[in-house]
Copies of this chain bind each other. A is one copy, B any other.
């Protein structure tokens, strides 16, 4: 049985373990600073398909297959996934032929943290012995759905972020010798009134603050208790905003606080403006960088705080502000928990 600690953090009794994980990305991501960590890099942005949306499906499906292959044949009792395409079609189509129970999620770019947290809670709650969380995004599919078709050649603002072409999948199980999920802090929808659809980092930073503060308050912890804290895709601008907001709360994250959207590209040379974003950002960085480093012992306790902007092109056109959400999951090395 999970136990609630404080206002909204759930401490897992059985601490589900990480069985396997995999990431599949496009060429730009494969040329970035994390290039050595990805399981697969596709030089072909179409992933062998004939449309960007089918490419995204193929990429998600590859990440799923690769994760299952690395999981030594363990077939999950349940798959949790979602994506950014309208009606979350790429994740649904990626599981179409797999004959496994599927729970569709929509957490925008926070989907990996939401899925990982829910998978851990379902395993901890009994009846489900293993569950796989996966998600991803594709730059070209996202651009034409959210902004302009690539052929239009639209200018990008300095605050804009680059949707990661990438996918990640994590398989959890009750029994595992590896890393453990120990806590889940589900996020609230926080709206700071940002209306600039090209400044997602600013829109999501207040939600990240809300969840990280709640997590720390609930467990009576601070940055001192973590080796590293990752937000999902605030990018360089959102990262700096969150640094400021944390300092105003008396917290000193120092170098322990990092953002997946800052890590995945070389911001000086890869022309991505404020950094990476999209469901695939935190998912691929988790699977290519965070979890491998934890397995190597670089970090022993990590807070993975996925961030999402809950908007659509239509809500922005209708003048709505952009609320954010952030779900946080604590991952620890087995011998420490």
- A73 within 8 A of partner (CB): no
- Expressed in whole angstroms, the Cα–Cα distance for A318 and B11 within the complex equals 44
Stretch among A87-95, A265-273, A286-294 lining the B interface: A87-95
CB 8 Å contact bits of A97-139 with B (1 = contact, 0 = none): 1111111111110000010001001101111110000000000
How far in angstroms is the closest Cβ of chain B from A331? Answer: 18
Distance of A103 Cα from B84 Cα, bound (Å)? 15
CB of A53 within 8 Å of the partner chain: yes
Name which of A39-47, A152-160, A185-193, A251-259 contacts chain B.
A185-193
Tell whether A213 is near chain B: CB-to-CB under 8 Å. no
Interface residues on A, range: 35 or more
A85 at the interface (CB under 8 A from B): yes
Partner of A103, one of B92, B126, B186: B186
Bound: A8/B82 CA distance, A: 21
The contact sample of 8 A-B pairs, CB cut-off 8 A, is A53-B314, A84-B87, A88-B310, A93-B315, A96-B189, A96-B323, A102-B187, A103-B107
Tell me how far the C-beta of A95 lies from the nearest C-beta in chain B, rounded to whole angstroms: 5
Question: Residue among A10, A102, A103, A122 with the most chain B CB within 10 A?
Answer: A103
Q: In the complex the two chains form, what is the Cα distance from A128 to B99 in whole Å?
A: 30
Query: Do residues B189 and A92 form an inter-chain contact, with CB atoms below 8 A?
Result: yes
| Neighbour of A310 across the interface among B93, B100, B103, B118, CB < 8 A | B93
| Nearest CB of chain B from residue A313's CB, rounded to whole Å | 8
A148-192 residues with Cβ-Cβ distance < 8 A to B are: 186-189, 191
Q: 8 closest A-B pairs (Cβ-Cβ)? A: A125-B125, A1-B126, A2-B127, A92-B310, A101-B186, A87-B312, A10-B127, A106-B106
Q: Which residues of B contact A128 (CB under 8 A)?
A: 2, 4, 10
Chain B CB within 8 A of A217 CB:
no
Chain B residues, Cβ within 8 Å of A229: none
Interface residue? A220 (CB, 8 A): no
Q: Which of B88, B99, B122, B189 contacts A125 (CB 8 A)?
A: B122
A78 beta carbon closer than 8 Å to chain B: yes
